[in-house]
Amino acid sequence: MAELRLQSPLQYVKGVGPKKAEALGELGFNEVGDLLKYYPRHYLDRTNVVPIGRIQIDQEVTVVGEVKAHGTLYGGKGRRYEVILGDKTGNISLLWFAGVKYWERLFKKGQVFAATGRVNYFQGIQIVHPDLERLDDDSDQMVHAGRIIPVYPQTAQLNKAGLSSKSMRKVTSFICDNLVDTIPDHLPDSVRQQQQLMPLHEAVIKCHYPDDRRQIELCRRRLAFDELLELQYMVYRNKGRKIATIKKHRVEIPGERVFRFIDNLPFELTSEQQKVIKEITDDMQSEHPMSRLLHGDVGCGKTVVAVAAALHAAENGLQVAFMAPTEILAEQHVRSWQAALGKVGITADLLTASLTAKQKQTVAARCAAGEIDILFGTHALIYDYVTFDRLGFVIIDEQHRFGVEQRGKLYAKGEDPDLLVMTATPIPRTLALTLYGDLDISTIESLPPGRKPIRTVWRTDDVRGKVHEYVKDQIAKGGQAYIIYPLIEKSEQMELQNVEDAFKELSVGVFRNLKVEMVHGRIKSKQRDDILDKYRNGEVDVLLATTVIEVGIDNPNATALVIEHADRFGLAQLHQLRGRVGRGEKRATVVALANSRLSDIARQRMEYFVENSNGFDIAEADMELRGPGEIFGVKQSGLPELRAANLFRDRDLMESARLLLERLFDQTEELDRAHRNLYTYLQHGAGRRRMHLGGG
């Protein structure tokens, strides 16, 4: 038999054959070298198995047990497959919602499996879509012999092709035993030594078959470093491209109308707001297109800064597109600024999906003719029928809510327009440099003066009645209130409060003498606008809402915010919701209601939320709990997906990778051979997308 090399087609690996090779090919694994990047998701050994009777909700665990029963369930949550796995201490339910047909054939009573995943509670403890390892035969022996065995991410699709975690293990162990090449290491030895990183060859093989648990982390760090290096390479490359571009439309005059607009504001801009307006407008005068991130905590007053910059562009004869993630927010922007802009001769208008066809046509025609200076809107702005005469400035509010494609489409409607993206999620510096290294950053660090700190408490939901009395009391004192619900209507799947039932109940119950309204995603936009208008004007006392009001909504007179099932929200989202109050001079209170049967993690989160009001701290804690990917939309950023690296935990590696790249880019001429090789490797590698499995 020919020797196994990195480039050998997978078909020649023992145990693969044409059919499995095809299934793997569909997932992007064609050569032996590709498959080595199919990293295990878990490892199994005797030390990390938890007795079923002792597991806790929200924990990630491995349990080992015997199949006690299995079968398809219908109704409620829809068709699903359930396996009851039991050991001496108790039973747990394993559930699959996809690939039911496949799982039906897999299980037999009495078989022994190890199952790994996060534990939930719904009428009993359960793991949804666990990773499985059948333990009756050889793996059992391996585990008992004290080996650490890899458990691979699984999908019904892979399983159908005969690639269970166990057969995948046969494949990888064969490759690791028979590979003759050393996997070439593009990292210079000096860098490896300085960072104390393993040789690549060792890291790749030992991450599948580690000698001990400590080695797993060492392998991961090496593989993570390579990923981060590639990620940052792409950021640097983008930056280089921008510097090479010269704008067609120029912004030259610092506008007189901007000053008039600022003079007319009902408040004084803070010195920080003035500073960032200057940063932005100065940058717009450069010959290269601006790419800038404006960030600052919820309520710090980013909108007025962006509007001033937009006005500056308009005064220079350019059109501006201002995109927000929700209709409510886009409408509010127009309502807040249209008149003030009009006073200085700037025309602003609105385009969202819920205008009538005729209205859309009119707005689009006026925009194409250049009659609208600043067009506010939602993602409706990116539709093909929307064109501009001279789009020179694109503003994206709550930018992490948009995908890279959506942002790109809007951008492409102009010729190298300036770009300002905004986010309320504060970003630690190292992360900002990594993810937005190609953007310049403006930061607003503090809130406008006169804001009273928000008082936040959390309570278990059995005191809901008292909380409602408290709300009544707040309204008697001249305030207004929000109550946030996780669902619109009753759901059979989740025993959660919903806004429709709450509305029916509360408006004739405890709040019967108050004006109560509700908003959610299914209320017609006209009606929703009326309600929000009335709420802002003080004609509505209590607004029941889903998280549609999460971003942006601004009513300075709201002094109470109640969040139902607060334990179901992430910290960053809770913080964003909290930002709906405390926007005026009155002191506001937030009450987070949580289930009385809370897991330790959820309890910690509640306590953290109550005790911390600094957005930066919240963002860091949230990253630690959830990983930064979700928070900063890395998944949507168009950058390569990270499989070994964690942007939060590996901040040290990220910083080293950044410094290394800075050297490659800035001192290209003086690089030694090893560094030059690395540079070339990155240049070639960046075009080739890393393959990965979605979902797992």
Binding site for ligand ADP (CB under 6 A): 267-270, 273, 296, 298-304, 424, 448, 554, 556, 583
Nearer to ligand ADP, 293 or 300 (CB): 300
Shortest separation between residue 378's beta carbon and ligand ADP, angstroms: 16
- List strand residue ranges (DSSP E) for 445-488, in order: 455-460, 480-484
- Residue closer to ligand ADP by CB (options 247, 583) is 583
If the CB atoms of residues 22 and 585 are measured against ligand ADP, the closer one turns out to be 585
Closer Cβ to ligand ADP, 10 or 532, answer by number: 532
288: DSSP letter:
S
DSSP for 499-561, written as a single string: HHHHHHHHHHTTTTTS-EEEE-TTS-HHHHHHHHHHHHTT--SEEEE-GGGSSS---TTEEEE
Report, in Å, the least distance between residue 246 CB and ligand ADP: 32
Q: Give the CA dihedral 102, 103, 109, 112, nearest 10 degrees.
A: 120
Q: What residues contact 503, with CB distance under 8 A and at least 6 apart?
A: 516, 518, 544
Q: How far is the CB of 677 from ligand ADP (least distance, A)?
A: 46
Output 254 or 556, the one with its CB closest to ligand ADP.
556
Could you tell me the CA-to-CA distances from 168 to 135, 153, 602 in Å, in that order? 15, 10, 36
Rank residues 28 and 538 by Cβ distance to ligand ADP and give the closer one. 538
Least distance to ligand ADP, CB of residue 273, Å: 6
Q: Rank residues 84 and 324 by Cβ distance to ligand ADP and give the closer one.
A: 324
Q: How far apart are CA 159 and CA 99, in angstroms?
A: 10
Instruction: Name the H helices within 164-300.
Output: 165-178, 189-195, 200-208, 213-243, 256-264, 271-284
Residue nearest to ligand ADP (CB): 301
Q: Are strands 112-121 and 60-73 parallel, antiparallel or unpaired?
A: antiparallel
Alpha carbons 204 and 220: distance in angstroms, whole number: 9
Q: Which is nearer to ligand ADP, 65 or 301 (CB)?
A: 301
Rounded-to-integer distance, Cα 360 and Cα 556, Å: 32
Residue placing its CB nearer to ligand ADP in the complex, 143 or 631: 631
**CA-closest candidate to residue 569, choices 616, 630, 511:** 630
Query: Measuring CA to CA, which residue among 49, 51, 53, 59 is closest to residue 600?
Result: 59
**Nearer to ligand ADP (CB atom), residue 467 or residue 618:** 618
* Min dist. Cβ of residue 327 to ligand ADP (A): 16
- Min dist CB 519 to ligand ADP, Å, is 18
DSSP string, 579-643: TTSS-SSS--EEEEEE-SS--HHHHHHHHHHHH---HHHHHHHHHHHH-HHHHHTGGGTTSPPPS
Nearer to ligand ADP, 296 or 392 (CB): 296
Q: How far is the CB of 296 from ligand ADP (least distance, A)?
A: 6
C-beta closer to ligand ADP: residue 280 or 593 = 280
Q: Closest separation between CB of residue 576 and ligand ADP, Å?
A: 9
> What is the nearest approach in angstroms of ligand ADP to the Cβ of residue 304?
5
User: What are φ and ψ of residue 303, in 5° steps?
Assistant: -60, -45
Of 83 and 300, which has the nearer Cβ to ligand ADP? Answer: 300
Nearest to 23 by CA among 224, 159, 195: 159
Shortest distance, position 690 Cβ to ligand ADP, whole Å: 36
- In angstroms, give the least distance from the CB of 300 to ligand ADP: 5
Alpha carbon distances (Å) from 80 to 70, 118, 298: 11, 18, 41
Which CB, 271 or 513, lies closer to ligand ADP? 271
Q: For residues 600 and 580, give the distance between their C-alpha atoms in angstroms, rounded to a whole number.
A: 28
Pairing of strands 131-134, 112-121: antiparallel
We find the least distance from the C-beta atom of residue 4 to ligand ADP, in angstroms, to be 57
Those residues whose C-beta lies under 8 Å from the C-beta of residue 662, and which sit 6 or more positions away, are: 236
Question: Which of 576, 652, 643 shows the shortest CA–CA distance to 300?
Answer: 576
Q: Least distance from C-beta 477 to ligand ADP, angstroms? A: 21
Q: Which amino acid is at 13?
A: V
Minimal distance, residue 299 CB to ligand ADP, in Å: 5
Residues 637/156/113/83 CA torsion (nearest 10 deg): 100
In 10 A of CB 78, how many CB atoms?
10
Question: Could you tell me the two tokens for 162?
Answer: 């005969």
Closest to ligand ADP by CB, 94 vs 308, is 308
Q: Beta partners for 442?
A: 294
Inter-residue contact 181 to 204 (CB < 8 Å): no
Report d(CA 105, CA 169) in Å as an integer: 21
CB of 339 to ligand ADP, least distance (A): 14
Q: How far is the CB of 575 from ligand ADP (least distance, A)?
A: 11
Compare residues 272 and 564 and give the one whose CB is closer to ligand ADP: 272
